[in-house]
Amino acid sequence: MKIYNANYIISAPSLKDCPDFQNTPELVLVGRSNVGKSSFINSMTLRKNLARTSNTPGKTRYINFYDIVYAQPGAPEGTTSKLLFVDLPGYGYAKISKSEQEKWRKHLEAYLSKRQSIRLVIQLIDARHGPQENDVQMYEWLQYHGRQVQIILTKTDKLSRNEIAKQIALTAQLLDVTPEDVLPYSSEKNQGREKAWSLLCSVLAKGPLPSVTAEPTL
């Protein structure tokens, strides 16, 4: 996968503040706080500082848009495509007020349930810990709303091969998917990058999904 350009565009506090990008497909990253969403974006685009990373959970407070211009392998010379990576605030961060958590929840709900240009939701799960209760709840909520989801286990460079295999099996069991539906990934070493791009491009090739519903809440 060749990346021609990758830029941060804008941060929007809520759905009503999100710009209209003329149906440019949006690939949305969700996951617990500090799961590695920013690192995943940097790894996928091969840009070290495109998305700001932090060891402090809860730093992402807005809906962050990144414009990606790329060419798929085998594409004619000069032929490019465009997509948007969208980084959402992490869930499961307890060290903020309940009112702030509720505000985040409502903004995430509205964007995920109503934004028509979303083509895929990439749910990141920390391979060291496996799916937590709120990971399972998020996955089930996305399924209810008809969103297509790609599960990615992050930080796999911290585990042995046997440990990764066990976490893939556990994740598949808890989310009721097959192990083949779970992609191990290391942003630190870019392991899984080509496979991830292949999966994303196959989704984009299928065209937009039908309109989504708006209930129930997360």
pLDDT tens digits, 33-76 = 889 999 999 999 999 889 987 554 445 678 999 999 998 877 78
Specify the pLDDT at position 215. Answer: 45
Q: Grade residue 167 by pLDDT with cuts at 50, 70 and 90.
A: very high
Specify the pLDDT at position 142. Answer: 95
What angle separates helix 37-45 from helix 193-205, to the nearest 10 degrees? 90
pTM above 0.85, yes or no: yes
Specify the pLDDT at position 52. Answer: 81
| Residue 125 structure tokens | 């799960």
Q: Grade residue 77 by pLDDT with cuts at 50, 70 and 90.
A: confident
Half-sphere exposure of 189 (CA within 13 A, CB side): 11
Q: Grade residue 127 by pLDDT with cuts at 50, 70 and 90.
A: very high
Beta bridge partners of 69: 5, 82
Question: Nearest 5°: CA angle at 174, between 103 and 58?
Answer: 30
Q: What is the mean pLDDT of the chain?
A: 88
| Residue 52 or residue 163, greater confidence | 163
Domains of the chain with CATH codes: 2-205 (3.40.50.300)
Element (H, E) at 154: strand 149-154
Rounded mean pLDDT of 168-188?
Answer: 97
Specify the pLDDT at position 97. Answer: 63
